[in-house]
Amino acid sequence: MSVEVPDGEELLRLQEAVPYVGTNGQGRGGARHLSCVLPALSAAIGHPVATALHDDPERLREQLGLPRVSSAIVVMVDGLGFWNLAMRRGHAPYLRSLLEDGANARPAATCYPSTTVAAMSTFGTGTCPGLTGMTGYTQLNTETGQMSQLIQFKDAIAPERLQTQPTVFERLRGMGVRVTSSGLPKFASSPLTRAAFRGADYVANVLPNDRVMAACRAAATPGLTYLYIRDADKTGHNYGWNSDKWVGAFERIDAQLAAVRRNAPKGTLIVITADHGMVATDPERRIDIAAEPQLARGVAAVGGEPRAVMLYAQPGEDPNDIADRWRDRLGDLALIRTRGQAIAEGVYGRVDPRVEPMIGDVLVSAAGRVTIVDSRIQSDKATRLPSVHGSQTMVEMDVPLLIDLT
């Protein structure tokens, strides 16, 4: 079964919010959602872990078609969206072979915003940003009233206090199951690891092949192994996801994944997914809040990122007035919602009252190749990245969910 890639306009059109539950495994969302991957895998290895959103991991396993095994490897390829993969599959013989299987030929969905901090915690806990408290690249620290950044957790609430949902790794380890994470040394005890992936035994290696082989050795013992590959995202941000450098990184990623397939013990289940896709930006469609008084009016702070902006209102300012001014200026260049509207639509999944004030008063989701920046607080490089993500288009929200068995 071949994958038919929609035209560029459709891929970049804003989509409806993707449901976390209730689609019976059909269509976007439901079981084919990033939040379901680890609960389903826990059932596949015989130790089902229910989460605050997903109370029947065995049903998820069945809907995703995962076989029962004693050992599984799950690979997170940062930034490798389903449609980015499909459009460049000619460079990836192993991934292309997986896409030819009908079960792998349609995407799963990530969370909103389609960005690393929100998606990694959604994946690691089997829940959603509305419960993890990780709602954007930058967001309000409700303890200090200042803005915080959640990759390095700069000026943020401590990882374990911000993200209080138990991770699937923690739950499995509490059952006595082996859980191993293979990654770069610098991520072993990083704030993001502590927030989203605490509970695993971390095996650190500098070289990609060493990380692959460490994952394969771990899989010889029953349990769950997690392998993280970051190169697609890093290269996409620096050079563009459709650049020659990105294609080279993609080819190396495919080789690493093929090596997992070759070296994992027989009978190992391999599941490959991603946290988000990437959009090539259009410099002519870059909107700078600093240069637009209409957009800056009434806004105390700007959070999120260029494709998924969060606006925090000044005291006494009505968020509806801010939203109206933004709609007047941007028209169909973005979807503008108040926090209340976004929560009612289920954009963040279930939202804990503790988390609600962390979300901006107004949410701006960019369409097409638009980026929305603020040169008052962002570096020039950060406002001109050639590829970005975060919004609610197919190319950003659709991620692979590829299943293989050695």
Is 2 inside a domain boundary?
no
pLDDT surpasses 90 at 343: yes
pLDDT surpasses 90 at 2: no
105 and 93 in a common domain: yes
211 and 92 in a common domain: yes
- For residues 227-259, b (16+ Cβ closer than 10 Å) or e, as one string? bbbbbbbebbbebbbebeebbebbeebbebbbb
341 and 240 in a common domain: no
Is 200 inside a domain boundary?
yes
Residue 22: per-residue pLDDT: 57
**98 pLDDT band (50/70/90 cuts)?**
very high
Q: How do residues 192-247 score in pLDDT, each as one tens digit? A: 999 999 999 999 999 999 999 999 999 999 999 999 999 999 999 999 999 999 99
Q: How do residues 315-330 score in pLDDT, each as one tens digit? A: 999 999 999 999 999 9
242 and 175 in a common domain: yes
Q: How many domains does the chain have?
A: 2
pLDDT surpasses 70 at 25: no
Identify the burial level of 288 via C-beta atoms within 10 angstroms of its C-beta, where 0-12 means exposed, 13-18 middle and 19 or more buried. middle
241 and 167 in a common domain: yes
Looking up residue 74, the CATH number of its domain turns out to be 3.40.720.10
41 and 73 in a common domain: yes
pLDDT surpasses 80 at 174: yes
Is 3 inside a domain boundary?
no
151 and 24 in a common domain: yes
345 and 269 in a common domain: no
Question: ∠ at Cα 192 (188, 193), nearest 5°?
Answer: 35
* Region 159-187 average pLDDT: 98
Looking up residue 302, the CATH number of its domain turns out to be 3.30.1360.180
Structural domain containing residue 187: 8-135+145-280+393-405
